[in-house]
């Protein structure tokens, strides 16, 4: 099998081959599996990735989860053992998989600008259009999924620098205003946030669209410039550098031309994260972003990382997760982004995750016969 430049294979495993499986408690996945089933049946199926696993392959597991009521961790594990077979995702080059992490920031905001409230979050502009192979101009790279519709045709949309300098002023697109451009920038990186207003009320913004320009990590820029050592790069070290260099911060952030637009949403359950690409709420510690060009949303993945220990009180990270999200930087068959939750504590956990990991996909038994 091929994932662009990365060839890979699925190697059959037993559940006994999964390190730490006997200690995991996947009970939290059942509500998410049921939510995936509702979305598929009531809205639309998920897109099939190049691996070839379809919603039809997934439905027997989702149907079984609808009726399942595991009373403890052992019963939850037994459910997956009865309905799935595990396969290790192995890259042809022998390299291990890799995980990072993401979270939902919580940001203090104001509904009106003024004083320290200077930096807006924007809704999607009405002149931003989706691109596909049918309407994308030849001069735009295939990676561009959005652009600007004008009277004379389609052209690239304004980038981060232009928007930060007022390109969208006066159009009434502002959702709320924050105190710090750095905070706004990192919400763009995460793709969602909880907004805390002065009266204590809580709202949520989630990804609606992007300006279209490629994501360019500023961490790489700071490494290349010798500002931060490669071994020290993390969300925390990047934030610290930006705060310590206010005269250079805007220029560095503008290096990432990508710009995110948001939609507003309620916070219906503070224990869950935002509704993500799979159109169901993210489960803290159990939701995984994957490369959707390869993988299909809703499938379970067992992730094992011996070196990732700070998420589980010093123990290796080894747990069953659900593919519910994707991301620009999540590229490859064994590449994942772990959702750690919402707020500052979740951000501290997420910011330093950059670890080798083994990926195992659980495939419902009937579909699994195609890969054995």
* Measured distance CA(233)–CA(228) in Å, rounded: 6
How would you class 32 by CB atoms within 10 Å of its CB: exposed for 0-12, middle for 13-18, buried for 19 or more? buried
Residue 1 has pLDDT above 90, yes or no: no
- What three-state secondary structure class fits 341? strand
Residue 192 has pLDDT above 70, yes or no: yes
* Measured distance CA(305)–CA(99) in Å, rounded: 9
* Tokens matching residue 288: 């995984």
* Tokens matching residue 237: 């070290």
**Domain 2-101+272-371 fold:** Barwin-like endoglucanases (2.40.40)
Residue-level pLDDT at 372: 85
Residue 2 has pLDDT above 80, yes or no: no
Average pLDDT on 239-249 reads 97
| Segment 256-303, tens digit of pLDDT | 999 999 999 999 898 999 998 999 999 999 999 999 999 999 999 999
Q: Which residues contact 317 (CB under 8 A, 6 or more apart)?
A: 99, 303, 304, 305, 308, 309, 311, 338, 355, 357
Residue-level pLDDT at 4: 64
* Measured distance CA(102)–CA(104) in Å, rounded: 7
* Tokens matching residue 340: 């750690």
* Tokens matching residue 7: 């060839």
Domain ranges of the chain: 2-101+272-371, 104-265
Q: Assign domain 104-265 to its CATH superfamily.
A: Barwin-like endoglucanases (2.40.240.50)
Which strand ranges, in their side-by-side order, compose the sheet holding 119-122? 119-122, 174-178, 106-110, 192-196, 202-210, 260-265
Residue 61 binned pLDDT confidence (cut-offs 50, 70, 90): very high
The mean pLDDT of the chain is: 96
Q: Are the C-beta atoms of 210 and 220 separated by less than 8 Å? A: no
Residue-level pLDDT at 184: 98
Q: Are the C-beta atoms of 204 and 193 separated by less than 8 Å? A: yes
Please tell me if the domain spanning 2-101+272-371 has the same topology as the one spanning 104-265: no
* Measured distance CA(321)–CA(301) in Å, rounded: 5
Average pLDDT on 113-130 reads 97
| Segment 310-352, tens digit of pLDDT | 999 999 999 999 999 998 789 999 999 999 999 999 999 999 9
* Measured distance CA(223)–CA(221) in Å, rounded: 5
Average pLDDT on 240-262 reads 97
* Measured distance CA(109)–CA(367) in Å, rounded: 48
* Tokens matching residue 251: 């220029």
């Amino acid at each position: 099998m091929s994932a662009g430049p990365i060839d890979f294979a699925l190697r059959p495993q037993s559940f006994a081959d999964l390190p730490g499986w006997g200690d995991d408690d996947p009970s939290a996945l059942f509500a998410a599996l049921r939510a995936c089933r509702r979305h598929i049946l009531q809205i639309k199926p998920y897109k099939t990735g190049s691996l070839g696993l379809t919603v039809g392959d997934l439905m027997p597991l989702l149907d079984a989860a609808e009726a399942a009521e595991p009373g403890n961790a052992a019963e939850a594990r037994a459910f997956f053992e009865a309905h799935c077979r595990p396969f290790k995702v192995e890259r042809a080059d022998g390299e291990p998989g890799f995980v990072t992490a993401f979270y939902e920031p919580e940001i203090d905001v104001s509904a009106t600008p003024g004083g320290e409230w200077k930096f807006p979050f924007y809704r999607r502009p009405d002149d931003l259009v989706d691109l596909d192979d049918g309407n994308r101009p030849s001069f735009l790279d295939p990676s561009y999924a959005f652009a600007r519709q004008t009277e004379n045709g389609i052209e690239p949309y304004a980038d981060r620098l232009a928007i930060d300098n007022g390109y969208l002023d006066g159009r009434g697109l502002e959702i709320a205003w924050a105190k710090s451009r750095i905070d706004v920038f990192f919400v763009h990186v995460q793709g969602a946030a909880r907004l805390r207003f002065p009266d204590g009320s809580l709202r949520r913004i989630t990804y609606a669209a992007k300006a279209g320009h490629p994501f360019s990590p500023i961490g790489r820029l700071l490494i290349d410039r010798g500002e931060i050592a490669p071994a020290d790069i993390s969300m925390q070290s990047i934030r610290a550098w930006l705060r310590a260099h206010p005269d250079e911060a805007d220029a560095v952030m503008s290096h990432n031309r990508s710009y995110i637009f948001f939609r507003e949403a309620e916070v219906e359950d503070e224990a869950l994260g935002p509704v993500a690409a799979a159109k169901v709420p993210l489960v803290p510690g159990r939701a995984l972003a994957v490369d959707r060009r390869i993988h299909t949303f809703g499938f379970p993945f067992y992730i094992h990382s011996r070196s990732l220990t700070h998420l589980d009180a010093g123990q290796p990270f080894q747990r069953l997760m659900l593919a519910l999200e994707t991301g620009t930087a999540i590229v490859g068959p064994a590449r994942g982004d772990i959702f750690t939750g919402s707020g500052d504590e979740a951000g501290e956990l997420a910011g330093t995750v950059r670890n080798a990991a083994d990926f195992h996909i659980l495939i419902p038994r009937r579909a699994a016969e195609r890969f054995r």
